[in-house]
Structure 1
């Protein structure tokens, strides 16, 4: 049997290794295109990226059977655009934009699950609406209609916060606006959405509670969920701390999230690919709120699924891209709990000490099935790091598993102590 050629739009070494864990991996030939670091560039040359991808598809010596992407903008939308152009299995560009365009997505959500949607309003940062005329009242969040990693996200408590956020956005929003508008110009959109391009921001009411992510996919119009991952922030902050599988929420709440998921994904028309949806469960009111829809599998969750299920969730995406219905095994991995931790600090400084590669390998050997990635170097000032949220600085990532939640958290603390990163 000849191997299927699958074009990867966006990749890194970690994800190439994860693809090796899926069933029938030997039957696929993965062709990687565009390293994930492109996302960190100040200017993304979207025309060049799309042109390069078309060249890979049109090579005479390789027939591409499927296109996949598991990274955020611009890679997912490039994959959808090319699937449409070349008649390959995948979502339409419009359905992807109905998820990724924060204003359009909120409109779609309000149509079918209004009880799970906070008040929202579109704002032009260069000509912002008067503070007292907005459809939302403080406190609220302001964020670009397209962003990732919490970039340019601001909590607004008063008019002064609002005006300052608008000034900052007007200066900095263009980095993603221009490449995002490339896709908007190629989509059939309603007039009220068309004017809200990548240069706009979204204001939306504050929601909170227990944060979690539904992992799912759509196959031939039917929506399926296969996991729920808890997302935990550092105490008293909006900065992400760790993902954990399985979720601690009750089965009843999980079922309600699944029901909301089916309704909203059918509304978008998204089909034959993976997605993840972030929710909040507010225990005091028993309400569920939708935070955002991501029209891709979460590669950040893949190691957790591997540790618990026995293979990563990359398997779901590959099967769908080839027109096949995927499946997930029952638990066959070595652990009951798994997590991806983001090690952060909350004050600026200069990195004085990081562990050597040998030290990291020694720690990974002491704690089997652990992956440690350090994202800072000695002499680096934290405020110079790219793609940080507005509240903290990410130093690195720890992925590991355990048989209980308590054991998992203790294991993480021991690993951080052993890494001994020093900031001056």
Structure 2
């Protein structure tokens, strides 16, 4: 890519910031940034007046003077959609806006999946109640409930009865304001692009729960061709759907990985996803040989980029930059792998009374010295924010580390040593007692929801949830 090209980065945080700094340092990429951090004050105060159209208009006006020739973002809440809108406006390569909307509208995506890959779908229906309204009687519990449009697994969880669903959908005035401000930019664009017949994103979706191991298929679409990059295993805290670690290489058999790619290909082509990186979250139950889609994320799963680079020598962020400039992702060179196994380790509290100690400067320096290949992220929050995390997400994610090892055995040894240094429990709790509370998180996003899931009935068979044709 010519060194004169300048790329705009939107909502560039955490793994994205680390990767883009590396690309600027080692490959001479030139970047500018815009957007704000939803998780830190005062940056997140911009939510109060954020308007997607006005934001994109401002970027488009500045683009010629700044010399921008491409835009990227792996930010689920606003960034992926804003990047698609700006690319469309400027005539740059980008993911079609309608495809982003289709993936992020969870009900619409389920309807499309039912048409093109019903064997990978679950029973589902819209909750026939607005926020705070009475819950209909006669629903088939247990259920998994989540917002039609959400990110970071906010308000996604399992409910076992009418009373739990009622409590879960009661919000104070401040909570309702935040929820509506998060969803409204998407809602406005949804009405413009997909029309009034698509249900509002200001609603909740009900799904049949699934009990199975979770995986993530990462891939890229270029010139309409869907290509797989790899599969990452998502390993949960016992008895929960709270991510404990994300690990490569995957234990999923190659034949099942190929089936996942086939489902992804059918869905992505159906929604017009012709360009961009994607992440497909799915369950696989080896006993029944059933693969079930959780959701499609129309963006790079940035949390996994470092893992792929360590184990496969594949740089997802470099691929993202290349295709944003219209270059074939196969032209991006691979590097020599540095590890036989790698993981993103998630540290979280399940009890609101827990007092988590975050590392100070000296401890962070000690970590960097002892683990020069490691990445360390910490998430300090006010007590009020932590309480909201427990209410909305089910737990508090306070840290993440990335490490590699020669194999899974050495990876665990290094994780245990790093965790002991930080004073945090090593995320290998499948060998210990399950925690008492539950939560979950999606790749490249933030924290947590549900409780122990139950097996789902096949869609449209022996389960009273509706599956529209």
Q: TM-score, with normalisation over the residues of structure 2?
A: 0.81
* Cα distance, 1:58–1:68 mapped onto 2, change above 3 Å: same
Runs of 4+ with deviation above 6 angstroms: none
Equivalents in 2 of 1:222, 1:231: separation in Å?
26
Shift of 1:366: 1.1
* Cα distance, 1:346–1:17 mapped onto 2, change above 3 Å: closer
Shift of 1:271: 1.7
* Cα distance, 1:24–1:11 mapped onto 2, change above 3 Å: closer
Any conservation in 1 of the 2:343–2:402 contact (CA below 8 Å)?
yes
Equivalents in 2 of 1:372, 1:153: separation in Å?
27
Shift of 1:189: 3.2
Within-5 A mapping of 1:394-405: 394-405=397-408
Tell me which of 174, 183, 186 is aligned to 1:180.
186
Q: Find the counterpart in structure 1 of residue 430 from structure 2.
A: none
* Cα distance, 1:388–1:253 mapped onto 2, change above 3 Å: farther
Q: TM-score, with normalisation over the residues of structure 1?
A: 0.89
Tell me which of 231, 246, 250 is aligned to 1:228.
231
**Number of matched residues?**
415
Equivalents in 2 of 1:268, 1:75: separation in Å?
19
Any conservation in 2 of the 1:152–1:169 contact (CA below 8 Å)?
no
* Cα distance, 1:373–1:244 mapped onto 2, change above 3 Å: same
* Cα distance, 1:233–1:175 mapped onto 2, change above 3 Å: farther
Q: Find the counterpart in structure 1 of residue 136 from structure 2.
A: 130
Q: Find the counterpart in structure 2 of residue 77 from structure 1.
A: 81
Worse-superposed segment, 73-82 or 282-291: 73-82
Are 1:109 and 2:113 counterparts? yes
Q: Find the counterpart in structure 2 of residue 11 from structure 1.
A: 12
Equivalents in 2 of 1:125, 1:190: separation in Å?
17
Q: Deviations 1:29-86 (Å, cap 9, x if unpaired)? A: 2111124346884772565454344333323422321111111111111111222222
Tell me which of 414, 423, 426 is aligned to 1:420.
423
Q: Deviations 1:303-360 (Å, cap 9, x if unpaired)? A: 1122223353111211111111102656722101111111012111263633211212
Any conservation in 1 of the 2:3–2:30 contact (CA below 8 Å)?
no
Report SS of the residue matched to 2:192. Answer: coil
Equivalents in 1 of 2:24, 2:336: separation in Å?
13
Equivalents in 1 of 2:14, 2:143: separation in Å?
38
Equivalents in 2 of 1:149, 1:233: separation in Å?
16
Worse-superposed segment, 177-186 or 286-295: 177-186
* Larger fraction in strand: 1
User: CA-atom RMSD, angstroms?
Assistant: 2.7
Kindly indicate whether structure 1 or structure 2 has the higher relative contact order, using CA contacts under 8 Å at least 6 residues apart: 2
Equivalents in 2 of 1:169, 1:113: separation in Å?
39
Equivalents in 2 of 1:250, 1:355: separation in Å?
39
Q: Deviations 1:254-303 (Å, cap 9, x if unpaired)? A: 11111111111111111211110001001110000000000001111111
The unaligned stretches of length 5 or more in structure 1 are none
Q: Find the counterpart in structure 2 of residue 140 from structure 1.
A: 143
